[in-house]
Structures are given as structure tokens and as C-alpha cells.
Amino acid sequence: MYLERLQLRGLGPFDDVELSFVDEQGEARPLTVLHGDGGTGKSTVLQAIDCTRPGRTVKGGLYRVASAEALVASAWQVGAEDPNRPRALVRHARERFRGAR
């Protein structure tokens, strides 16, 4: 299973951003490195990926800073390891987060 895309809206330092995890040919990258100073959103991105993995659910209060209508959406490519579902899988996580700004 590979992450193809992640959208964050109203979460941490992100007003509305979409991150791509595919190369120029549209193939999912086997490795991505997140690098930045403190407070730039690295942990927010990792938490967003975690809460939208297939089989996971979102728990309120997951993020330190979230707007009242925070949104996380991701697109996953499943294939060889799950032959019954060789297609993109899109997950959305939207709820009112405790401590919303």
C-alpha cells in the first residue's frame, strides 16, 4: 500500500495544502523524507497520514491546533499486497476537534 496524496485543511500551520507522494510519472515514491524546523508541520503531516490509513479511525483532540472544520483527506494505492482491491482508496477524516480555534 502506498500513499499517493494528502490534503490538509485547517490543521496545525496548514490553511489548505495538498501534498503529493508520487513521482513525475505518477508512481508512488517508496520513500519520502520530511525535513523542517520546529513548528513547521512535520508531526501534523505524520498524524494526518496515521489517522487516514485504511482501518484507522480519527479520535478527537488528535491535533494540538485545528480549526473547527478541520479536514484530512488521503489517497492510497493498494495493489499486489491486496489483490482483491487493486485500485486507489480515498479516505477522509473530518470532525470538530477539541481545542479548535
Which amino acid, residue 79? G
Strand, coil or helix: what is 17?
A: strand
Q: Is residue 87 part of a domain?
A: yes
Answer whether residue 62 is part of any domain.
yes
Looking at the structure of the chain, the number of domains it has is 1
pLDDT tens digit at each of 101 positions of the chain: 888 999 998 888 999 999 999 999 988 888 999 999 999 999 999 988 888 887 665 555 555 556 667 888 888 887 666 666 555 566 665 544 443 44
pTM here is: 0.72
Instruction: Answer whether residue 101 is part of any domain.
Output: no
- Residue 73 in contact with residue 14, Cβ under 8 Å? no
Residues 6+ apart with CB under 8 A from 96: 60, 68, 69
Residue 11 is part of a domain; what is its CATH number?
Answer: 3.40.50.300
Q: Can you give the residue range of the structural domain that contains 27?
A: 2-94
